[in-house]
Structure 1
Amino acid sequence: MSIYIGNLSYEVTQENLKEIFTEYGTVERVQLPMDRETGQPRGFGFVEMATEDQETAAIEALDGA
C-alpha cells in the first residue's frame, strides 16, 4: 500500500519525507513525482512503509498535519 501525501511545499525533498515517516516505522520507498515541463515537484508524493500497521500509525498521526 502507498500513502498519498498531498499539499506539499515544492521545497519538500524525498529525504524530508523519509525523515518524518521514519518516526513511525521503516520507510521502504518515497516518490515525489516531477512535472515534465518544468522539472519541479508536483506538490504531492507517495510513501511506502514496511508494514500496514506502520502505515496506519503514520496516517493517524500525520493526517491533517
Structure 2
Amino acid sequence: MSIYVGNLSYKVEENDLKRVFSKYGVVKQVQVSINQKTGEKKGFAVVEMETDAEEVAAIRSLRGLELMGHSLKMNKARTKLDGGSSWHL
C-alpha cells in the first residue's frame, strides 16, 4: 500500500505530500528520500496509504499533478528489500 512519487521539486517537504495525498484517504507515512552523504533530497518519495483502494484512487487522481512546478510521476512501490530502510522501486 505504498506509492512511489517521482520528479519531485527539491523544495517539497513530507507535510506537502501528506496534505495532497490525504484527500484520498489515510496517509500512514511519507518518506522523502535524502542522500545520506550530502543531506540533499533525491527528488522522490514513498507515500504509504492505509488501504489498496486509497492507493489506487490517489495514483489515478494525482499522476501528472503539478506540484511546485514539477509534474508528479507515480506508481505502486514495491516492498522494502530484506526489511531494510531502502525501497526497491
State whether TM-score is above 0.5.
yes
Q: CA-atom RMSD, angstroms?
A: 0.7
Q: Which residue of structure 1 lines up, in the alignment, with residue 78 of structure 2?
A: none
Instruction: Please report how far the alpha carbon of residue 38 of structure 1 lies from its aligned counterpart in structure 2 after TM superposition.
Output: 1.8
Paired residues, what number? 65
Partner of 1:48: 48
Give the aligned partner of residue 14 of structure 1: 14
Q: CA deviation at 1:37?
A: 2.5
Specify every segment of 5 or more residues in structure 2 that has no aligned partner in the other structure, as ranges.
Answer: 66-89
Moved over 6 A (4+): none
- Tell which structure's C-alpha radius of gyration is larger: 2
- Structure with higher strand content: 2
Report Cα offsets for 1:13-54 as digits up to 9, x if no partner: 000000000000000010011012221110000001111001
TM-score, structure 1 as length reference: 0.94
**Unaligned regions of 5+ residues in structure 1, if any?**
none
